[in-house]
Amino acid sequence: MDKALVPKVKLNNGMEMPTLGLGVLRMEDGPEVEEAVGWALEAGYRLIDTARVYNNEKGVGRAIRASGIPREEIFLTTKVWNEDQGYEKTQAAFDASCERLGLDYVDLYLIHWPGGVSSLNRETWRSMESIYSKGRAKAIGVSNFHAVHLNALMEATEIVPMVNQIELHPHLQQRELRAFCKKHGIQVEAWRPLMKGKVGEIPLLTTLAAELEKTPAQIALRWMIQHDVVTIPKSQNKGRIIENLNVFDFELTDMQMAAIDALDCGERLGPDPDTFRMDFS
Protein backbone atom coordinates (compact mmCIF):
# COMPACT_ATOMS: atom_id res chain seq x y z
CA MET A 1 0.00 0.00 0.00
CA ASP A 2 1.02 3.63 -0.36
CA LYS A 3 2.69 4.44 2.94
CA ALA A 4 1.44 8.02 2.73
CA LEU A 5 -2.14 6.74 3.06
CA VAL A 6 -1.70 5.61 6.68
CA PRO A 7 -3.64 8.30 8.59
CA LYS A 8 -2.65 9.97 11.82
CA VAL A 9 -4.57 11.39 14.75
CA LYS A 10 -3.67 14.63 16.50
CA LEU A 11 -3.05 14.36 20.24
CA ASN A 12 -4.08 17.04 22.72
CA ASN A 13 -0.58 18.57 22.58
CA GLY A 14 -0.72 18.88 18.77
CA MET A 15 1.55 15.90 18.09
CA GLU A 16 0.45 13.44 15.40
CA MET A 17 0.27 9.71 16.08
CA PRO A 18 -0.21 6.96 13.47
CA THR A 19 -3.58 5.24 13.57
CA LEU A 20 -2.13 1.74 13.41
CA GLY A 21 1.12 0.26 14.68
CA LEU A 22 2.90 -2.90 15.73
CA GLY A 23 2.81 -4.24 19.29
CA VAL A 24 5.74 -6.41 20.37
CA LEU A 25 4.50 -8.03 23.59
CA ARG A 26 6.12 -11.43 24.24
CA MET A 27 8.53 -11.13 21.32
CA GLU A 28 12.00 -12.28 22.30
CA ASP A 29 14.79 -9.74 22.24
CA GLY A 30 17.21 -10.28 19.39
CA PRO A 31 16.40 -11.64 15.92
CA GLU A 32 12.72 -12.35 16.67
CA VAL A 33 11.69 -8.80 17.55
CA GLU A 34 14.21 -7.25 15.17
CA GLU A 35 12.77 -9.15 12.21
CA ALA A 36 9.17 -8.27 13.11
CA VAL A 37 9.92 -4.57 13.59
CA GLY A 38 12.01 -4.54 10.42
CA TRP A 39 9.22 -6.13 8.38
CA ALA A 40 6.71 -3.69 9.83
CA LEU A 41 8.78 -0.61 9.06
CA GLU A 42 9.48 -1.89 5.55
CA ALA A 43 5.73 -2.41 5.01
CA GLY A 44 4.91 1.14 6.06
CA TYR A 45 4.28 0.96 9.80
CA ARG A 46 5.56 4.00 11.67
CA LEU A 47 4.22 3.24 15.17
CA ILE A 48 6.06 0.67 17.30
CA ASP A 49 4.87 -0.12 20.84
CA THR A 50 7.16 -1.73 23.40
CA ALA A 51 7.64 -1.58 27.18
CA ARG A 52 10.36 -2.13 29.75
CA VAL A 53 8.67 -5.29 31.00
CA TYR A 54 8.61 -6.78 27.47
CA ASN A 55 12.41 -7.12 27.74
CA ASN A 56 12.92 -6.36 24.06
CA GLU A 57 13.71 -2.63 23.96
CA LYS A 58 17.27 -3.34 22.79
CA GLY A 59 16.05 -5.28 19.77
CA VAL A 60 13.42 -2.68 18.94
CA GLY A 61 16.06 0.04 19.01
CA ARG A 62 18.42 -1.97 16.81
CA ALA A 63 15.65 -2.58 14.26
CA ILE A 64 14.75 1.11 14.16
CA ARG A 65 18.36 2.11 13.56
CA ALA A 66 18.87 -0.63 10.95
CA SER A 67 15.77 0.42 9.01
CA GLY A 68 17.39 3.53 7.60
CA ILE A 69 14.16 5.44 8.21
CA PRO A 70 14.71 8.90 9.71
CA ARG A 71 14.08 8.79 13.46
CA GLU A 72 11.56 11.63 13.29
CA GLU A 73 9.33 9.55 11.01
CA ILE A 74 8.93 6.77 13.59
CA PHE A 75 6.56 7.01 16.55
CA LEU A 76 8.00 4.89 19.36
CA THR A 77 6.17 4.07 22.59
CA THR A 78 7.56 2.51 25.75
CA LYS A 79 6.25 2.27 29.30
CA VAL A 80 7.28 2.51 32.95
CA TRP A 81 6.67 -0.76 34.79
CA ASN A 82 5.17 -1.41 38.21
CA GLU A 83 8.15 -1.40 40.56
CA ASP A 84 9.66 1.58 38.73
CA GLN A 85 6.85 3.93 39.74
CA GLY A 86 7.60 6.99 41.90
CA TYR A 87 9.35 10.24 40.98
CA GLU A 88 13.01 9.25 41.13
CA LYS A 89 12.46 5.66 40.08
CA THR A 90 10.58 6.81 36.98
CA GLN A 91 13.41 9.14 36.02
CA ALA A 92 15.88 6.27 36.32
CA ALA A 93 13.58 3.87 34.48
CA PHE A 94 13.18 6.29 31.59
CA ASP A 95 16.94 6.78 31.33
CA ALA A 96 17.42 3.01 31.32
CA SER A 97 14.80 2.53 28.60
CA CYS A 98 16.46 5.15 26.40
CA GLU A 99 19.84 3.48 26.96
CA ARG A 100 18.47 0.07 25.99
CA LEU A 101 16.72 1.54 22.95
CA GLY A 102 19.86 3.45 21.98
CA LEU A 103 17.74 6.55 21.39
CA ASP A 104 17.75 10.07 22.80
CA TYR A 105 13.98 10.35 23.14
CA VAL A 106 10.74 8.43 22.84
CA ASP A 107 7.58 9.67 21.21
CA LEU A 108 5.22 8.39 23.89
CA TYR A 109 5.92 7.30 27.47
CA LEU A 110 3.13 5.56 29.39
CA ILE A 111 2.38 4.47 32.95
CA HIS A 112 1.80 0.77 32.30
CA TRP A 113 -0.77 0.05 35.07
CA PRO A 114 -2.54 2.24 37.63
CA GLY A 115 -2.32 -0.14 40.59
CA GLY A 116 -5.43 1.37 42.15
CA VAL A 117 -6.09 5.03 42.93
CA SER A 118 -2.59 5.67 44.21
CA SER A 119 -0.56 8.71 45.23
CA LEU A 120 2.33 6.83 43.65
CA ASN A 121 0.65 7.27 40.27
CA ARG A 122 0.72 11.01 40.83
CA GLU A 123 4.41 10.97 41.77
CA THR A 124 5.11 8.96 38.63
CA TRP A 125 3.07 11.36 36.51
CA ARG A 126 4.89 14.41 37.89
CA SER A 127 8.15 12.70 36.94
CA MET A 128 6.79 12.11 33.45
CA GLU A 129 5.73 15.76 33.23
CA SER A 130 9.35 16.66 33.91
CA ILE A 131 10.57 14.28 31.21
CA TYR A 132 8.02 15.75 28.81
CA SER A 133 8.97 19.36 29.63
CA LYS A 134 12.57 18.56 28.68
CA GLY A 135 11.50 17.11 25.31
CA ARG A 136 12.77 13.63 26.11
CA ALA A 137 9.27 12.23 25.63
CA LYS A 138 7.27 14.00 22.93
CA ALA A 139 4.02 12.87 24.55
CA ILE A 140 3.04 11.18 27.82
CA GLY A 141 0.07 9.07 28.75
CA VAL A 142 -1.25 6.08 30.63
CA SER A 143 -2.24 2.49 30.02
CA ASN A 144 -5.09 0.51 31.55
CA PHE A 145 -6.52 3.52 33.40
CA HIS A 146 -10.24 3.62 34.11
CA ALA A 147 -12.09 6.90 34.63
CA VAL A 148 -11.58 6.73 38.40
CA HIS A 149 -7.82 6.44 37.92
CA LEU A 150 -7.76 9.24 35.37
CA ASN A 151 -9.82 11.54 37.59
CA ALA A 152 -7.51 10.97 40.55
CA LEU A 153 -4.49 11.68 38.38
CA MET A 154 -5.86 14.79 36.69
CA GLU A 155 -7.06 16.34 39.96
CA ALA A 156 -3.50 16.48 41.29
CA THR A 157 -1.34 17.12 38.22
CA GLU A 158 -0.90 19.75 35.52
CA ILE A 159 -0.91 17.89 32.21
CA VAL A 160 -3.83 15.82 30.95
CA PRO A 161 -2.64 12.45 29.57
CA MET A 162 -2.40 12.44 25.81
CA VAL A 163 -3.13 8.72 25.39
CA ASN A 164 -4.86 5.95 27.33
CA GLN A 165 -3.91 2.51 26.03
CA ILE A 166 -6.54 -0.07 27.04
CA GLU A 167 -7.71 -3.54 26.19
CA LEU A 168 -10.29 -3.02 23.47
CA HIS A 169 -11.79 -5.35 20.88
CA PRO A 170 -15.24 -6.41 19.61
CA HIS A 171 -16.05 -8.28 22.84
CA LEU A 172 -14.76 -5.51 25.15
CA GLN A 173 -15.65 -2.12 23.70
CA GLN A 174 -15.36 0.11 26.80
CA ARG A 175 -17.85 2.69 25.51
CA GLU A 176 -18.12 4.68 28.75
CA LEU A 177 -14.35 4.91 29.13
CA ARG A 178 -13.97 5.91 25.49
CA ALA A 179 -16.55 8.65 25.98
CA PHE A 180 -14.74 9.87 29.11
CA CYS A 181 -11.44 10.01 27.24
CA LYS A 182 -13.01 11.84 24.31
CA LYS A 183 -14.50 14.42 26.68
CA HIS A 184 -11.07 15.12 28.15
CA GLY A 185 -9.15 15.02 24.87
CA ILE A 186 -7.37 11.74 25.65
CA GLN A 187 -6.68 9.51 22.64
CA VAL A 188 -7.75 5.90 23.14
CA GLU A 189 -5.38 3.20 21.91
CA ALA A 190 -6.32 -0.48 21.78
CA TRP A 191 -4.13 -3.34 22.91
CA ARG A 192 -5.04 -6.96 22.15
CA PRO A 193 -7.33 -5.74 19.33
CA LEU A 194 -7.39 -9.15 17.65
CA MET A 195 -8.26 -11.06 20.86
CA LYS A 196 -5.25 -13.38 20.55
CA GLY A 197 -6.60 -14.40 17.14
CA LYS A 198 -10.12 -15.10 18.42
CA VAL A 199 -11.60 -12.50 16.07
CA GLY A 200 -11.36 -15.24 13.44
CA GLU A 201 -13.87 -17.30 15.45
CA ILE A 202 -16.59 -14.63 15.52
CA PRO A 203 -19.25 -15.53 12.92
CA LEU A 204 -20.20 -11.94 12.11
CA LEU A 205 -16.61 -10.99 11.41
CA THR A 206 -16.01 -14.02 9.22
CA THR A 207 -19.20 -13.24 7.27
CA LEU A 208 -18.24 -9.61 6.76
CA ALA A 209 -14.71 -10.67 5.80
CA ALA A 210 -16.08 -12.96 3.08
CA GLU A 211 -18.41 -10.26 1.77
CA LEU A 212 -15.67 -7.62 1.65
CA GLU A 213 -12.84 -9.95 0.56
CA LYS A 214 -10.92 -9.15 3.72
CA THR A 215 -9.91 -11.12 6.82
CA PRO A 216 -11.72 -11.05 10.18
CA ALA A 217 -8.66 -9.32 11.62
CA GLN A 218 -8.87 -6.59 9.00
CA ILE A 219 -12.58 -6.12 9.74
CA ALA A 220 -11.89 -5.75 13.47
CA LEU A 221 -9.05 -3.29 12.90
CA ARG A 222 -11.11 -1.24 10.47
CA TRP A 223 -13.98 -1.11 12.98
CA MET A 224 -11.64 0.33 15.61
CA ILE A 225 -10.12 2.87 13.24
CA GLN A 226 -13.59 4.10 12.27
CA HIS A 227 -14.29 4.57 15.98
CA ASP A 228 -11.20 6.85 16.12
CA VAL A 229 -9.22 4.31 18.14
CA VAL A 230 -5.50 3.81 17.52
CA THR A 231 -4.68 0.12 17.38
CA ILE A 232 -1.48 -1.92 17.75
CA PRO A 233 -1.98 -5.54 16.62
CA LYS A 234 0.87 -7.89 17.42
CA SER A 235 2.25 -10.34 14.89
CA GLN A 236 5.56 -12.05 14.26
CA ASN A 237 4.44 -13.32 10.86
CA LYS A 238 5.54 -11.18 7.91
CA GLY A 239 2.42 -11.89 5.88
CA ARG A 240 0.06 -11.00 8.72
CA ILE A 241 2.07 -7.88 9.57
CA ILE A 242 1.53 -6.67 5.99
CA GLU A 243 -2.10 -7.86 6.00
CA ASN A 244 -2.93 -5.99 9.21
CA LEU A 245 -1.79 -2.73 7.64
CA ASN A 246 -4.02 -3.11 4.60
CA VAL A 247 -7.15 -1.70 6.20
CA PHE A 248 -7.22 1.75 4.62
CA ASP A 249 -8.65 0.81 1.22
CA PHE A 250 -12.22 0.07 2.41
CA GLU A 251 -14.83 1.33 4.85
CA LEU A 252 -17.50 -0.38 6.91
CA THR A 253 -21.04 0.90 6.49
CA ASP A 254 -23.02 2.33 9.39
CA MET A 255 -25.03 -0.90 9.47
CA GLN A 256 -21.89 -3.05 9.57
CA MET A 257 -20.40 -0.86 12.31
CA ALA A 258 -23.59 -1.17 14.36
CA ALA A 259 -23.59 -4.94 13.96
CA ILE A 260 -20.04 -5.16 15.35
CA ASP A 261 -20.97 -2.72 18.12
CA ALA A 262 -23.62 -5.22 19.19
CA LEU A 263 -20.96 -7.88 19.86
CA ASP A 264 -19.87 -6.20 23.10
CA CYS A 265 -20.15 -8.65 26.01
CA GLY A 266 -17.55 -7.30 28.44
CA GLU A 267 -15.15 -10.22 27.90
CA ARG A 268 -11.67 -9.42 29.19
CA LEU A 269 -8.68 -11.40 27.99
CA GLY A 270 -6.24 -9.53 30.23
CA PRO A 271 -6.25 -8.29 33.83
CA ASP A 272 -8.95 -5.94 35.11
CA PRO A 273 -7.36 -2.62 36.15
CA ASP A 274 -9.84 -2.34 39.04
CA THR A 275 -8.54 -5.52 40.65
CA PHE A 276 -5.01 -5.80 39.28
CA ARG A 277 -2.51 -4.83 41.95
CA MET A 278 1.14 -4.21 41.43
CA ASP A 279 4.11 -5.23 43.53
CA PHE A 280 5.97 -2.01 44.35
CA SER A 281 8.62 -3.73 46.42
Q: Tell me the catalytic residues.
A: 54
In sign, the C-alpha dihedral spanning 85, 86, 87, 93 is: negative
Give the CA angle between residues 252, 255, 171 to the nearest 5°: 80
> Nearest-CA neighbor of 25 among 60, 45, 50, 47?
50
CA distance 184 to 162: 9
CA distance 246 to 44: 10
CA distance 56 to 30: 7
Give the CA angle between residues 168, 170, 171 to the nearest 5°: 85
Cα–chain-centroid distance for residue 116?
21
CA distance 115 to 146: 11
CA distance 116 to 273: 7
